[in-house]
Amino acid sequence: MKLGVVFPQTEIGADPGIIKAYAQTAEALGYDYLLAYDHVLGANPERPGGWQGPYTYQHIFHEPFVLFAYLAGLTHKLELVSGVIILPQRQTALVAKQAAQVDVLSGGRLRLGVGLGWNKVEYEALNMIFTNRGRRIEEQVTLLRALWTKPLVDFKGRDHSIPDAGINPLPVQRPIPIWFGGMAEPALRRAARLGDGWMPNSASEERLKALLEQMRGYLEAEGRDPQKFGIDGRISIANRPQNEWASQVEMWRALGATHVAVNTMGAGLKSPQDHIEAIRRFKATISG
């Protein structure tokens, strides 16, 4: 099982030197991957109609593709993972181009996690339709894989049209792995049908067991081998004392996870350096 860190988007600040130190420390400590959340815009909670989302315009979010391009030149082995890119609010061909570029610059170290998102304001600002995002993401995934594996693509779908064109350079990985987020039943079915893996959020052990059993059933119904399908779990130190960290890693291992990442956000850490020390402490703790 591979071990990763959740990039502390909302708490790390905007100092490039700190971002560099965080990623290089994670790699030096032996973490396998760095996972970053995605939001392009934050809403004003005092806007007409109010705002109920967990993030606002006051929360920092580094753009994942630009962040990964920066980190590609500062790291050597660390896998760069989006967890998740809100795919239906972005132009598909542009995502294909950006992801391919990151994959080239990193020597094939990108894993693209995708999901639907929940922020209607963000969709509106990016001039994308919120209500049909579940349908559109499926065509987007098909198109992404075509653009990553063929020099020329002639594609006519319900929402996309590419008249005999392609991206250049193509990525190192052909295609780049696509993993799905989300825990609702349609998200599970979509991941089982189209994904290379699934990224469940934190939940109780009982619920995770039930969801993973459900996922395995959907994979088998699609004629896919659950043993060849990735599972990327989360451990938040905000709601787990240090003496439970190792047992949480073992819980994910027992559930059949292929990956697990530690999230240090929301734990009351006072500075970006505290996040660096937290991932250092987590690695030492679970290593015995």
Give per-residue pLDDT as tens, 3-17: 999 999 999 999 999
The secondary structure of residue 95, as a DSSP letter, is H
Cα angle at 233 between 88 and 16, to 5 degrees?
Answer: 70
Give per-residue pLDDT as tens, 222-232: 999 999 999 99
The confidence score (pLDDT) of residue 14 equals 97
Give per-residue pLDDT as tens, 63-97: 999 999 999 999 999 999 999 999 999 999 999 99
pLDDT over 90 (residue 131): yes
Q: How far is CA 174 from the centre of its chain?
A: 19
pLDDT over 90 (residue 52): no
Cα angle at 162 between 159 and 165, to 5 degrees?
Answer: 160
Give per-residue pLDDT as tens, 234-284: 999 998 999 999 999 999 999 999 999 999 999 999 999 999 999 999 999
Mean pLDDT of 31-57: 91
Judged by phi (left if over 0) then psi (alpha if -120 to 50, else beta), residue 181 lies in: beta
Residue type, 18: I
Q: Which domains does the chain have, with CATH numbers?
A: 2-286 (3.20.20.30)
**Distance from C-alpha of 271 to C-alpha of 263, rounded to nearest angstrom:** 15
Q: How far is CA 288 from the centre of its chain?
A: 28
The two counts, helices (H) then strands (E), for the chain are 9, 10
